[in-house]
Structure 1
Amino acid sequence: MSGLAALLARRQQPGVFRWHAAFDASDVGHTVEHAGWRFALLDAWPTDSKADFLQRIGEALALPAYYGHNLDALADCLADLPSERVEGTVVLWEGWGPFAHADERGFNLALQVLRERAEAPDEAPFVVLLRGDGPDLQSVSSLD
């Protein structure tokens, strides 16, 4: 988990990354939470649409009831993620490939919202780990 360890220790800038580590999601969650971060498992199998993605990420992050299930509402809710008593948030997005293949435009828009939150300078750290098979993403570096 060395790439993840560097993130949790803040030696690596937050962002959106491809992550090929085969650790069990519960072990990843334990590691993240032990470091004082919030962990969210976005189990997106077999999500293949923007609507499915928006539903599942809302559930994974336990977004408030007023979450509007659109990308603008997601961006607003990500900006309001609770940051008290946590160092930051790590989202492990498993099964992102079907969405990326089925709705390339929707996937890229969702990825842009997540990336903008991860790169927000005045917010608590936010990290998204894309794990599993999917298309080559030139704009997403590997954390491995």
Structure 2
Amino acid sequence: MLIPELEAQERRLVLRSFTHDDAWHLGSLLVELARLRHAPVAVDIRRGPQQLFHCALPRSSADNDAWIDRKRRVVERYAESSYLVGTRFRAKGTAFEDSSRLDPDLFAAHGGSFPIAVEGAGVIGSVTVSGLPQAEDHALVVEALERFMATGRAVEGATH
């Protein structure tokens, strides 16, 4: 995916507000999308340092939780998606792990963590998925945010 596409996603996916209930609905939406695809993922939503939602689906593992933490820290540090940050480093012909000067045991610029941005407040948290290849983790989060914004918390074909 190209940097301009990733930047456009972040400009487009800005929420008017984000409450604890919104975290539940967005997280539930992500879980339903993942279940429909039989995706072995873990899902995490944070507002600042507070974890508002977490779910580990079958075939996910504690390793996914560790990846969530590492990807989330990239969003917290750069206020951009972990995929965009990693893509920028790759576009410069280097790797995040080699050039960021950040501990790779604590930070991973791999796709799957996306900033929760609110109009007038900026980035207030993150939504993260781990368990698929990085482009698919990223795409799942973007799809859920798009549906969350467009449909008011409904997944077509999902059961609640």
TM normalised by structure 2 equals: 0.28
Q: Judging by fraction of residues, say which structure has more helix.
A: 2
Greater gyration radius = 2
Specify which structure has the bigger relative contact order, considering alpha-carbon pairs within 8 angstroms and separated by 6 or more residues.
1
TM normalised by structure 1 equals: 0.29
